[in-house]
Structure 1
Amino acid sequence: MTFVPVLLLLLVFGLPIGVAFALIVVMNADAWYMSIEYMASAPFDTLQAYPLLAIPLFLLAGEVMSRGGMVRELIEFSELFVKRLRAPMGHIMIAASAMMGAMTGSSVATVAAMGTAIGPEMKRRGYAPGYIGALNASTGLAGVLLPPSIPLILYGSVVGVSVTQLFMATLVPAFLFILALMLTHTLRARYVLPVGGEKTETTASSDVSSTAGRMAGLMKSAGPALLLPALVLGGIYSGFFTPTEAAAVAAVYAIFLTVARKVLDLGSLNTVFFKAGISAAAIMFVIGLTSLFNKAMILEQVPQAIAALATGFTDDPLVFLLAVNLALLLVGMFLETSAAVLLMGPLLAPAAASFGIDPVHFGIIVVINIEIGLLTPPLATNLYVAAMTNRISFLSMLSDVKWFLLAALVVLLAITYLPDLSLWYRLLS
């Protein structure tokens, strides 16, 4: 893996992310047996995937909601519930990302949409741009664990585990991640905000009648915006439409609402579409070109080598689980989420079964590990998407993201060695 230092050096010197990954592949094309024809077609084939269509559609919905004032209404309503917490905007980012993840099933789509919708408000509240990007990137981890989770669906399909059981098993781990992110944000807020608190802390009265009156007023003004998550989640969980179709519904609903309320006219929507299109193009450019790197790692059989190393030296299930965690964290640094789940699930699941590890519990471990890879360079997709969405440099996020990464690893260890956190639903029967 001598290419890794070169890749990191290219990124440090500011070469565009997608170009850096593609350049590494081109430099090693002969060694990796990749033809020019294949390198030309692979990114296009990757971007044809139907679930990726959710990214530009949710970006459009987020841009329309932001320009149309819907985000402001949702923030004001949410603050009624988190105003007693330190730095409430960060908690709103975490909660909103969890909800968006439940809508999309995709960590990358969640990061892109929430960076567009909430990132600007956090900046106005006094947060450093690097911290906004780090929090934005990290919150995608919690959201994608909530059903419907695309990685869990993929794991269940290739390993032969009930997707319904996986969805049940992931609920407690997801909420543990949310709580860990909130706790980390609370502890870090005093250090990242200039005066230890947000510039525009809420000043609403704590009187019960005053708070109730304000809630009633906000319910009236924010009611149409509050219907959006209910519409999207209700449609997904009822099976009426897919997460990608939900993204289209969200975009159309947001456009209709802003035009009907005369907040935006049809002419000004040109700017909204253009801005959302530019953001989507930048993100899809990175996804398409990093897919070349992903294919190269598979051709080089890097994941298989790591799996063999993790499973071939112990007969202790506790040591096996530790080795699997380390191996999957390493794989997550080099492979895109879906490819890593599809490859590593079938490779490791039989070995886990031989150690007596429950396949549902093991599925949660696999997906969490690979999702954490979205925060670990070189293939830290969430960080790259957060950097582009929030218009900040990749390096500016690294000093802050380490705290959220540490919190994620602590939760991962708890879930790994306390199987009842994943298998809680069986205790009820």
Structure 2
Amino acid sequence: MIVSSLLLLLVLGVPIAVAFALVVIANAEAWNIDPFSLAAMPFDTVSNFSLLAIPLFLLVGELMNRGGLVKQLTAVCDLFMSRIRAPMGHIMVMASALMGAITGSSVATVAAIGGTVGVEMRQRGYSKGYTAALNAASGLLGVLIPPSIPLILYGAIVGVSITNLFIASIVPGILTILVFSFIHSILSRRVLPDGKETLPASMAQERNDKTVNKGSVLVRALPALMLPILVLGGIYSGVFTATEAAAIAGVYALAVTVLTRQASAGDLKKILEHAALASAAILAIIAFTSIFNRAMILEQVPQSITEIATSFTGNPILFLLAINAALLLIGMFMETNAATLLMGPLLAPAAVNYGIDPVHFGVLLVTNIEIGLLTPPLAANLYVAQRTNEARLTEMFGYVMWFLLGSLLVLGMITFVPALTTWYQFL
């Protein structure tokens, strides 16, 4: 009843943060909850030090995109993949992974890479529909490749090490890269004339110049390449936390953008505005879902779910299959961050009761929900890729289905092979 009411409000178009708060207020009397006792909770929640990483990583993404650093990363990918058949599709996947390793946001990755790599893919003979489909699917790497904003949210609200979550998501991210690249290799034979990219004369000359000046391409891209190394290397070596890494990355990206004169003062103002607005939207959702989650705890909903799950089956595999089905459905109707904040605290206790590692379950939960970015009606990645690549949804669906199946394959591997996420515990 509670979840169905929430879903109804979301379907009716009520803003996500408002919908969470309304459900609690409307049921406060029935739940014997004093609304005034929850007044300070939104502020207390967003004051969590770990959540500071979200606006900082979003700022880094804006600086990367508008400061020209994304083009430098794309040039490096092109440098090493130019001899592979249908290279631009592989470049789309790899550039999305690199962007995800910096921003932690799927939608930001789709917008940034679609506006750079997507343009060149269309110039080389790919249809708008296929380009947009690959762009939308590759955007999932913005969530799977650490750092990941949904994983930060899960770790903060469930009480799991965010660093361990980042480490655990590395292998699933690599698997997704390999699966998407394999699918592209097959589909490119069908979507390209004679299965080969068409390279205009001007672009062919540029390619030749890049081949001769590989060193200069790497030197120009060195500041952009150092950023993911700085972020991930610092986190995994234990030098600084994920939040501190976000702060360092923000200062670094800002310094590189200013020193290389990639953005004017007006551009910097727009960058800060976009990052602030995106951060405010996410933090508002976090603030008001905290009220909803507290109400669920007071009503002992997590305990009830655990009891129902354990009475339904004592087999952890069957439990995970049921959870996968439920989360895939929820991901179709709820925004990724909101769904993570809602389902994490509700389902994590039941998973632990089955002996499932909370880190493994966190990666599983986020992977499930982020697949919803490709599945209507919400499907944020599809809509952003559609606009960025000037395509129609009907042109995209036939291709998106293949990448959706690839995502489900990776999900199945994560579900049935826990070592893919818990491997770091054996070191």
Q: Deviations over 1:394-421 (max 9, x none)?
A: x979968766554333223233334554
The alpha carbon displacement at 1:249 in A equals: 1.6
Q: Secondary structure at the match of 1:264?
A: coil
The alpha carbon displacement at 1:137 in A equals: 5.4
Gaps of 5+ in 1: 102-108, 353-358
Q: Deviations over 1:257-297 (max 9, x none)?
A: 22222333446522332232223223333333344444444
Name the structure 1 match of 2:363.
Answer: 367
Q: Secondary structure at the match of 1:30?
A: coil
Query: Kindly tell me: are residues 190 and 18 of structure 1, through their superposed partners in 2, closer, same or farther at Cα, counting changes over 3 Å?
Result: farther
Query: Kindly tell me: are residues 167 and 370 of structure 1, through their superposed partners in 2, closer, same or farther at Cα, counting changes over 3 Å?
Result: closer
Query: Kindly tell me: are residues 95 and 81 of structure 1, through their superposed partners in 2, closer, same or farther at Cα, counting changes over 3 Å?
Result: farther
The alpha carbon displacement at 1:219 in A equals: 1.0
* Aligned 8 A contact 2:55 2:279 in 1: yes
Q: Deviations over 1:31-77 (max 9, x none)?
A: 44454435644333332222222222222222223332222111111
Rounded Cα–Cα distance in structure 1 between residues aligned with 2:167 and 2:11 = 42
Mapping 1:303-314, distance limit 5 Å: 303-314=302-313
The alpha carbon displacement at 1:214 in A equals: 3.5
Gaps of 5+ in 2: 123-127
The alpha carbon displacement at 1:205 in A equals: 7.4
Q: Residue type matched to 1:79 in 2?
A: D
Matched, 1:67 2:66: yes
Rounded Cα–Cα distance in structure 2 between residues aligned with 1:199 and 1:303 = 56
Rounded Cα–Cα distance in structure 2 between residues aligned with 1:40 and 1:321 = 36
Tell me the TM-score normalized by structure 1. 0.71
Matched, 1:114 2:109: yes
Name the structure 1 match of 2:177.
Answer: 178
Q: Residue type matched to 1:19 in 2?
A: V
Please provide the CA RMSD for this pair: 4.9
Query: Kindly tell me: are residues 296 and 199 of structure 1, through their superposed partners in 2, closer, same or farther at Cα, counting changes over 3 Å?
Result: farther
Q: Residue type matched to 1:364 in 2?
A: H
Rounded Cα–Cα distance in structure 2 between residues aligned with 1:19 and 1:196 = 49
Rounded Cα–Cα distance in structure 2 between residues aligned with 1:193 and 1:24 = 50
Query: Kindly tell me: are residues 246 and 351 of structure 1, through their superposed partners in 2, closer, same or farther at Cα, counting changes over 3 Å?
Result: closer
* Aligned 8 A contact 1:116 1:389 in 2: yes
Name the structure 1 match of 2:89.
Answer: 87
Count, aligned residues:
403
Instruction: Give the one of 347, 350, 354 matched to 1:351.
Output: 354
Q: Secondary structure at the match of 2:261?
A: coil
* Aligned 8 A contact 2:110 2:384 in 1: no
* Aligned 8 A contact 1:374 1:383 in 2: no
Q: Deviations over 1:316-344 (max 9, x none)?
A: 56445534545666788887536754554
* Aligned 8 A contact 1:77 1:222 in 2: yes
Name the structure 2 match of 1:356.
Answer: none
Bigger shift: 332-341 or 232-241? 332-341
Rounded Cα–Cα distance in structure 2 between residues aligned with 1:198 and 1:285 = 45
Q: Residue type matched to 2:307 in 1?
A: A
Name the structure 2 match of 1:142.
Answer: 144
Tell me the TM-score normalized by structure 2. 0.71
Rounded Cα–Cα distance in structure 1 between residues aligned with 2:169 and 2:147 = 6
The alpha carbon displacement at 1:190 in A equals: 8.8
* Aligned 8 A contact 1:283 1:388 in 2: no
Rounded Cα–Cα distance in structure 2 between residues aligned with 1:295 and 1:346 = 15
Name the structure 2 match of 1:49.
Answer: 48
Matched, 1:281 2:280: yes
